[in-house]
Structure 1
């Protein structure tokens, strides 16, 4: 399939998931994850009208951002080391992987020095997998309270990754758990402003994530392919 054909198919599947769950298509944002494709393919993605680009390592994203950073909105979706904050701050509008106080402190330090506001998602390990990064669900509220001391960090919402399952339906409890956690946080007014966004759902399970309330889905190979020419 061509890039254009993949985009059309994904959009159809998003629309159908929204219809099933009584949601508006406009409430679901697509991040095109370009970590496996070249700079020229990333340019094609932007030319196609996809404006949100996701990368998970600065060393892989640097060339693409230097060439195309003025186009679209860039999302850092991988585990962020504190020593890479200086590289990504101000380049990536959203960081989807805030999961520890040391990272928050470094983000605040760099953002304060550069007079930036950094939009973040707090990553929560709903599934409890040892291989996944993120806070345990019971740690989320204390962590969000700690973030009050960092005026340059804006929490946009919560993020999680579900296990890779043979049946996408098996991921539903993970996505539902993140939505329920967000709703509980909002009910108790933990954050400065109510949390709206949920970053959840990838190529294998995005339809279930949408049905459970995802506002940002992160799509790689199903959308952009894995190498030049796909």
Structure 2
């Protein structure tokens, strides 16, 4: 199937998932932003997706994103969804509109320093390791709100919400409790009304589990294979 056909199906699934949300769900937003994840897909595929209506591109690797962005120029938003090391912060701040993967005060401080030097205020999300997996990055859920308070004091960083990655389950329904807990944490973060923040994005859900993620309150999803097919290695 074509990228356009796949994208249409993904959007239909998102709309259907929004309508299935519990009426008591605190996260009431009906608008869900789709980030097309282009890791290991070429510029031609990205251009096809943009022509079909994609407005935001997500990349795991800064170097790969930089090469693609140079060709595409500023047609879309660029989101960093992969782990960010402090020695890559300058490149990240120069390139990305939203960084999903901030999981420590150390990284946040470096983003603040670099963004200040570049005359920018960098939008970020806190990455939360809700499943406490040793193989995944992210701050523990019990420490996420404390990190948020620290970030709110930074002049050149704007905290815009939170992100999580669920374990890969054979049945996406297994991710539902985790996503539900993440949505609750997101609402606690929002209710803190921290200064210098704009808490609007709950980023959770990828190709295998985004429908459940949206049903449980996600308003930002990261879809790669569901749009582009299997990655080319």
| SS of equivalent residue, structure 1 residue 138 | helix
Moved more, 155-164 or 193-202: 193-202
Name the structure 1 match of 2:156: 152
Aligned CA RMSD, in angstroms, stands at 1.8
CA displacement at 1:70 relative to structure 2: 1.1
Matched, 1:3 2:6: no
Please say if 1:71 is aligned against 2:75. Answer: yes
Q: 2:77–2:96: 8 Å Cα contact kept in structure 1?
A: yes
2:113 to 105, 109, 133: 109
The aligned counterpart of 2:221 is 217
For the 8 Å contact 2:99–2:125, the answer to whether it is kept is yes
1:48-86 deviation line (CA, Å, top 9, x unaligned): 110100001012222101111311100000001111111
Cα contact 2:152–2:159 (8 A) shared by 1: no
Q: CA deviation at 1:186?
A: 2.9
Give matches, 1:1-230, under 5 Å: 1-21=1-21, 27-190=31-194, 192-193=196-197, 195-226=199-230
TM, length-normalised to structure 1: 0.93
Distance 1:188 1:110, change over 3 A: closer
Q: Displacement, 1:189?
A: 3.2
Q: What TM-score comes out, normalization by structure 2 length?
A: 0.92
Instruction: Note the residue ranges of structure 1 that are not aligned, 5 or more in a row.
Output: none
Structure 2, unmatched stretches of 5+, are none
Give the total of aligned pairs.
228
